[in-house]
Amino acid sequence: MAKHGKKYTAVKKKVSVEKLYPLTEAIQFIKDNPTANFDETVEIALRMGVDPTKSDQAIRSTVALPHGTGKDVRVIVFATGSAAEEARAAGAVEAGFEDLLAKVTGGWMDFDIVIATPDAMKEVRKLGKVLGPRGLMPNPKTGTVAEDTATAVKQFKAGRVEFRMDKNGNVMVPFGKRSFTIEALSENFHAVYEAILAAKPASSKGIYIKRCTISSTMGPGMHIDTKESVTA
């Protein structure tokens, strides 16, 4: 078990594991109780009531955060010709094909999002062992396989984030920085929560979201009262 520092321990003592916190109260607490010397990311963690072993109950999609993520998103694009040129003009840190394939195969991983044109996917799929474990493999469901590379790059740099359920049935999504206003974090939270509701598999039965928690990068989790905080 990881050993936590004094700041975490002090803040943790103020958090009740029994209480369901209204969203704005939890956000205010995170803003008032920093646990690191940098602008921490605030994240939502959801315990899902679906079976992660069944492919027809997989949860994966994207959501556009109204106020962005607060970080510079590094996007690379596998494309050729004008699609590569337009991606670079839109803000991609790298755009290309054979040279970029070789660079990533060689171990370069200095990026957050991978986009590819449909034509490029035949070769990009060969990077499955490299990109797959990191959740970076382009997928049409998340808008990362696209003909219009410029639009895709702009959307992800502006605050579109991808989410997917892990093998343990959890979905974790960053939704801003501790320095954001309460209103901005609340609006981003609602965008994420509603997107996850919209991504509910048709085969899902019973309780879809079992528990909702938010936390800062280095801080303790706070269980959110979604009945009070989220409009159904």
Mean pLDDT within 65-91: 95
* Average pLDDT value over all residues in the chain: 92
Flag whether 57 is in a domain. yes
Express each pLDDT in 214-227 by its tens digit. 999 999 999 999 88
Same domain for 81 and 132: yes
Flag whether 122 is in a domain. yes
Flag whether 5 is in a domain. no
Same domain for 138 and 89: yes
Express each pLDDT in 99-112 by its tens digit. 999 999 999 999 99
Quickly count: other Cβ atoms within 10 Å of residue 6's Cβ: 8
What percentage of the chain reaches a pLDDT higher than 90?
A: 82
Flag whether 207 is in a domain. yes
Q: Which residue type sits at 2?
A: A
Same domain for 50 and 79: no
Which distant-in-sequence residues (6+ apart) come within 8 Å of 222 by Cβ?
15, 21, 26, 29, 30, 213, 214, 215
Mean pLDDT within 152-156: 94
Flag whether 169 is in a domain. yes
Higher-pLDDT residue of 56, 231: 56
Flag whether 181 is in a domain. yes
Count up the domains in the chain and report the number.
2
**Which of helix, strand or coil describes residue 17?**
coil
Same domain for 217 and 102: no
Domain span holding position 49? 15-68+161-229
The CATH number assigned to the domain holding 38 equals 3.30.190.20
pTM across the whole model = 0.79
User: Cα 179 vs. chain centroid, distance in angstroms?
Assistant: 18
Flag whether 9 is in a domain. no
Same domain for 31 and 140: no
pLDDT of residue 231: 43
Same domain for 96 and 51: no
Burial of 58 (0-12, 13-18, 19+ CB in 10 A): middle
